[in-house]
Amino acid sequence: MNVSLNAVVASGVFLFAASSCSSPKQASRQAPAAPAAGIVYTVKDTNVQATFEASGTAAALRQATLSTKLMGSVLEVLVKEGDVVSPGQPLVRIDARDLSAKADQVAASISESEAVQREALTQAGRIRALYADSAATRSQLDAAETALARAEAGVRTTRAAAAELAATTAYSVVRAPFAGIVAKRFVDPGAFAAPGAPLISVEDGLQLRLTANATPDIVRDIRRAQRLEATVEGHPLSAVVEGVVPAAAGNLYTINAIIDNPHGAILPGSTATLLIPIGAHSALVVPSAAVIRQGDLTGVIIRTADGDATRWIRLGRNIGSMIEVNSGLRSGDRVVVPSSGATTVAARN
């Protein structure tokens, strides 16, 4: 009886051990995870445009460093760096009290010249009447007409002097020439302003000029008004070629291109890259929305007969909503595009 009981216990232990040993194998045969939500994009060889990346900077298209024609002390600086300004807004006030004294002198000169003109006009009217009645000689009439002409010229001269003084006085208040941002403040109250010395710098960042250099063979086919792809601080943008001119030094040419920046998201002075087309080649591309990132790793979800799996890949450059794959995929692979990017890819296909 004891032998039979021991056999039963041993058999049970064997069965338990066998069950424990088989569990990892059974786990490996579990059903694959549910497929990821999204659409499937089939990777294939695609003819893409090869480009040369010309590095440069994006500066404000409109920028002005403001100065004055006056010489005097700075009374007020009404803005700070980074302030948004509107056209005609006062920025700096300069002491112009000496011009106020001159304005009084010019006003007195105008009053005097106008009085002389009125007297000359009255005298000329009298002589004209007398001459018509043969009571005045021709020489008297000519003298009266000459005196009137001189008086009128004197009025014009004094009024022109007043206009010149007003224009000069206007430089006592430095105003914004256009809407923009104060990029640099060169003076503070109490500083001495001299003609031509910089006071305030204003930039309009709603349009940027991208400036990049390249060799003659690269820029040979670029034309004015041509649209090129560009990136500024990682932002993909469209640039319109303004012109291509020889660079200051070396066997290089400078490409100037205009970029719209309506919301001011890109700051003037940012690093930029202009993508210049130089030919076409065959490459594999996937939708940018399909790329997953984990730290420095980039990958995609591959759909296979055994289920979905992550595959790490090495990426190339962006091509619109697609991105070039340098390694890790081959033609015919099926890539899952998550639901958030599925609509765009479906529209492309």
pLDDT for residue 16 is more than 70: no
Question: What digits encode the pLDDT tens for the residues 154-181?
Answer: 999 999 999 988 888 888 999 999 999 9
The pLDDT of residue 178: 94
Report helix, strand and coil shares of the chain as percent, to nearest 5: 30, 40, 25
Instruction: Give me the torsion for CA of 227, 232, 234, 236, rounded to 10°.
Output: -20
What is the bridge-based pairing of β-strands 292-294 and 173-175?
unpaired
pLDDT in tens, 104-149: 888 999 999 999 999 999 999 999 999 898 888 999 999 999 999 9
Q: Please report, as a single letter, which amino acid is at residue 66.
A: L
Weakest mean pLDDT among 32-41, 268-277, 307-316: 32-41
Question: Hey, what CATH topology would domain 38-59+203-348 get?
Answer: Elongation Factor Tu (Ef-tu); domain 3 (2.40.30)
Tell me: the pLDDT tens digits for 80-103?
A: 999 999 999 999 999 988 887 788
DSSP letters of 261-276? Answer: -TT--SPTTEEEEEEE
So where are the chain's domains? 38-59+203-348, 75-95+172-198, 97-170
Q: Please say whether the beta carbons of 46 and 286 come within 8 A.
A: no
Please report which confidence band the pLDDT of residue 34 belongs to, taking 50, 70 and 90 as the band edges. low
Q: For residue 9, is pLDDT > 50?
A: no
Ranking 28-42, 208-222, 244-258, 290-304 by mean pLDDT, the lowest is 28-42
Q: What pLDDT was estimated at residue 151?
A: 93
Tokens matching residue 103: 């304005």
Instruction: Judge whether residue 19 has pLDDT over 50.
Output: no
List Cβ neighbours of 13 (8 Å cut-off, separation of 6 or more). none
pLDDT in tens, 74-83: 999 999 999 9
Q: What is the mean pLDDT of residues 221-250?
A: 90
- Amino acid (one-letter) located at 247: A
Q: Per-residue confidence at 17, pLDDT binned at 50, 70, 90?
A: very low
Matching fold, domains 38-59+203-348 and 97-170 = no
Residues 182-191, mean pLDDT to the nearest whole number: 95
- The pLDDT tens digits of the residues spanning 259-287 come to 999 888 888 889 999 999 888 888 899 99
Which pLDDT belongs to residue 6? 44
Q: Beta strand pairing status for 45-66 and 200-214?
A: antiparallel
Using the predicted structure, report yes or no on whether residue 255 has a pLDDT greater than 50.
Answer: yes
**Domain 97-170 CATH class label:** mainly alpha
Q: Give this prediction's pTM.
A: 0.57
Query: What's the average model confidence in pLDDT over 51-77?
Result: 92
Q: pLDDT class for 343, splitting at 50, 70, 90?
A: very low
Answer yes or no: is pLDDT of 342 > 80.
Answer: no
d(CA 302, CA 309): 5
How is 163-180 classified by DSSP, letter by letter?
A: HHHHHHHHTTEEE-SSSE
- 3-state SS assignment for residue 158: helix
Average pLDDT over residues 292-321: 90
Q: Which residues contact 56 (CB under 8 A, 6 or more apart)?
A: 210, 211, 212, 213, 255, 272, 273, 274
- Burial of 176 per CB tally in 10 Å (0-12, 13-18, 19+): buried
Question: Per-residue confidence at 341, pLDDT binned at 50, 70, 90?
Answer: low
pLDDT at residue 22 in the model: 43
| pLDDT for 249 | 76
pLDDT in the model for residue 12: 47
